[in-house]
A and B are shown apart, each in its own frame.
Chain A
Amino acid sequence: MLIRPVASFFLELVGVDDWLLYIVLEHFTNLVPFASLVLASPGLVSNWKKTLTALFGGLAIIIAGHLLLSWVVFELNEAYGLSRAFYRVVVPLLLLNDTLPLLLWVAFYPRLPGRLLGLRIFGDQKIAK
């Protein structure tokens, strides 16, 4: 756990005394598809500044998301216990966390999804030449 020192500091700061890793750990793997998407995007070397910004910016956002998720899961567990109500509130947050790689990739590379189809999806809504 590379982020454990940072995580421990943050979680201690917000008053989390039990990091419920068995609930959230499986959802921390979203770092992998994000890094893969950025590294597979065109301009890896020629546009290295953008690649580094996307990679480190995106990974920082994802890791911040992991910390927030851990905090929220702890607070919800305190409030509801491991009940159905807990699950009901946690599912949308887990979904958002799991789709974060795709969302960040679209945010950093808005023209790429369209380029796959020869369209300008997030441009001025006109067809690309």
Chain B
Amino acid sequence: MVMFQQMSTNKNHRHSRGGKNKESRLSAWSKLSPALRFVLTFSVSLLVLGSAYSVLTARYDDLEWLLNLTASIAGGIASLFSDSVSFSGHFISCHGFSVEIIDECTGLLEMVIYCAAVISFSTSFRKKLIGIAAGVPAVYLFNILRIILLLVAGASSQELFRFMHLYFWQVTLVLMIGTIWLCWLRFVVFREEKGTVEVPA
């Protein structure tokens, strides 16, 4: 019995020490600046979502419909402004310059990044859901605009296309995802209602 009590005490002691460790880890986490916490959470979320994207696209290896849809929408919109635009399958051409829509042009990777940014921000589940439901189509539309701009650039100069294709991805990443994420914060997370302001938990 004594032995049992000792074992139990030791176990409690170990448990309380474990609890203290957990507490100190939590307090160390809460001592970090909110911006740094966001950056770290975002990095982890991005790695998890990015891995999920890779696994899912490898398993369901059929993005053909999305490639065709993206080419049709971008080609359809561009053809409203110019008769020289034509599209078929996942190819679009303008003034003899042709582009092929590949997996990376569908905006899926940008959506992954945007979703990671929404998930990582400290707010309610409902607001995150609204952010993803409204933001993902917005990212897709921005991406269509990016393809049209690249097509116009390529039709005027191949050099310009190469330059924009190389640097535009980075710039659109900042502009597109940053703008939609800030809009979500302004109009959903920090929404003002009848003189009151909702503050995230």
Asked if B2 is at the interface of the complex by the 8 Å CB criterion, the answer is no
Q: How far is the CA of A86 from the CA of B109 in the complex (A)?
A: 17
Give B200's nearest chain A residue, CB to CB. A125
Q: Is the interface of A mostly helix, strand, loop or mixed?
A: helix
Within the complex, the shortest CB–CB distance from B184 to chain A, in Å, comes to: 11
Q: Known: A106-B38, A107-B39. Contact between A113 and B50, CB under 8 A? A: no
Q: Known: A117-B190, A123-B34. Contact between A102 and B178, CB under 8 A? A: yes
Give A104's nearest chain B residue, CB to CB. B39
Q: Known: A29-B167, A91-B54, A126-B199. Contact between A107 and B112, CB under 8 A? A: no
Interface window among A1-9, A68-76, A93-101:
A93-101
- Chain B contacts of A102 at CB under 8 A? 173-174, 177-178
Asked if A37 is at the interface of the complex by the 8 Å CB criterion, the answer is yes
Q: Is the interface of B mostly helix, strand, loop or mixed?
A: helix
In the complex, which range does the number of interface residues on chain A fall in? Answer: 35 or more
Contact B190 A106 (CB under 8 A): no
Contact A87 B54 (CB under 8 A): yes
**Nearest 3 A/B pairs, CB to CB:** A92-B50, A110-B35, A88-B54
A-B contacts, 23 of them at CB < 8 A, read A26-B166, A26-B169, A29-B166, A33-B170, A37-B174, A85-B58, A88-B58, A89-B54, A92-B53, A98-B113, A98-B169, A99-B42, A99-B113, A99-B173, A102-B173, A102-B174, A106-B35, A107-B36, A110-B35, A117-B182, A117-B190, A122-B33, A125-B122
